[in-house]
A = this chain, B = another copy of it.
Amino acid sequence: MNGLPMSFPYEGLPARVRIHEVGARDGLQNEKTAVPTHVKAEFVHRLAAAGLTTIEATSFVHPRWVPQLADADELFPLLADVRAALPVLVPNEPGLDRALALGATRIAVIGSATETFASRNLNRTVAGSLAMFEPVVARAKDHKVHVRGYLSMCFGDPWEGPVPVHQVVGVAKALLDLGCDELSLGDTIGVATPGHVQTLLSALNEEGVGTDRIGVHFHDTYGQALSNTLAALQHGVTTVDASAGGLGGCPYAKSATGNLATEDLVWMLDGLGIETGVDLAALTATSVWMAEQLGRPSPSRTVRALSHKE
């Protein structure tokens, strides 16, 4: 084997998938090791060189809440020459001001499908968080900035249990009504299975939310992320979130990994003959390098398999 899967198409899947790479933001914000700003900048440059076209770069949240990304104002200017879309997370208007001042052209906000997570993560009700996002999205649109709306806890919630589909649809529509250009449906605790994924996508489609505005964001806590991705692709989704090397982790499952690893996703998409533009060998080398910076091995099975070849 040459380290690349063979290509066999699978009926009914899209010809091309856009990977929304979240390792530098969602990944590093959940890593305990402090990563120097110049290493983060090199990471983003390497990800772009490996062919990723959408790389979420950092977060303009207050440093008190996410100290790992406190260097956003220093980092973002170092990425001026990166040839990829570089969305940044903004939690509120002060965050938007920082992002706009640095010339960001794509932002993301993070909402919650459940009251408990909204309360714990955003210190607001769901309605209150939407009210907080309203001026953020409106001002972003005035500046012709693209807005992604993350929706957390779309399948299960550690405090509330299973999340009713109609409840997720309601918050999803509210985020789109605010002006979000796309949604990312998050399985924050990794409990979803393929039928649940398709049920939610169908319910959104019935309410007029097409798959062209939907990305999926699966966590591998129970090993389900890739089969859920296959189900989403079969439902027409073409935007998939993933984290290089499987960076980051879910705080509710301490020794389990968090985000779907980009390499595991690319192995499957390569094998299905679905175009991503990503060079798997270059991406794997990047994740091996980042694992060295963090001082621990990558949880991605593909990274581990490809980097242990004789």
A binding-site residues for B, Cβ under 8 Å: 1-2, 5-11, 155-158, 161-162, 189-196, 198-199, 220-224, 226-227, 229-231, 253-257, 261, 264, 267-268, 270-273, 297, 300-302, 304-305, 308
Given A224-B264, A224-B267, A301-B223, check contact A191 B5 (CB 8 Å). Answer: yes
**Closest beta carbon of chain B to A300's beta carbon, Å:** 7
Which among A2, A9, A226 has the greatest number of chain B C-beta atoms within 10 A?
Answer: A226
- 20 example contacts (A-B, Cβ-Cβ < 8 A) are as follows A1-B161, A1-B191, A2-B161, A5-B196, A5-B222, A8-B193, A11-B198, A190-B305, A193-B267, A193-B271, A194-B272, A195-B272, A196-B271, A222-B301, A223-B264, A223-B300, A223-B302, A227-B227, A253-B308, A255-B308
- Of all chain B residues, which has the CB nearest A264? B223
Which residues of B have CB within 8 Å of A227? 226-227, 229-230, 268
Whether A10 lies near B231 (C-beta < 8 A) is yes
CA distance A229 to B193 in the complex (A): 13
Which residues of B have CB within 8 Å of A256? 301, 304-305, 308
Which residues of B have CB within 8 Å of A268? 193-194, 224, 227
CA distance A11 to B202 in the complex (A): 13
Q: Is the interface of A mostly helix, strand, loop or mixed?
A: loop
Which residues of B have CB within 8 Å of A301? 220-223, 256-257
Given A223-B302, A253-B308, A304-B253, check contact A195 B8 (CB 8 Å). Answer: yes
Which residues of B have CB within 8 Å of A190? 305
Which residues of B have CB within 8 Å of A2? 161
Which residues of B have CB within 8 Å of A158? 1
- Of all chain B residues, which has the CB nearest A2? B161
CA distance A223 to B224 in the complex (A): 10
Which residues of B have CB within 8 Å of A226? 223-224, 226-227
- Of all chain B residues, which has the CB nearest A156? B1
Whether B305 lies near A221 (C-beta < 8 A) is yes
Instruction: For the A-B complex with A194-B271, A230-B230 known, give 15 more contacts whose Cβ atoms are closer than 8 Å.
Output: A1-B161, A8-B198, A191-B271, A193-B270, A194-B230, A195-B271, A195-B273, A220-B301, A221-B305, A222-B305, A224-B226, A224-B267, A224-B271, A227-B230, A256-B305
Whether A305 lies near B156 (C-beta < 8 A) is no
CA distance A5 to B190 in the complex (A): 10
Which residues of B have CB within 8 Å of A199? 8
The 9 A-B residue pairs whose C-beta atoms are closest, nearest first, are: A193-B271, A8-B195, A223-B264, A10-B195, A223-B301, A253-B305, A8-B196, A227-B227, A6-B162
CA distance A231 to B272 in the complex (A): 12
- Of all chain B residues, which has the CB nearest A162? B6
Which among A261, A268, A272, A308 has the greatest number of chain B C-beta atoms within 10 A?
Answer: A268
CA distance A257 to B196 in the complex (A): 27
Option from B11, B156, B220, B255 in Cβ contact (under 8 Å) with A6: B156
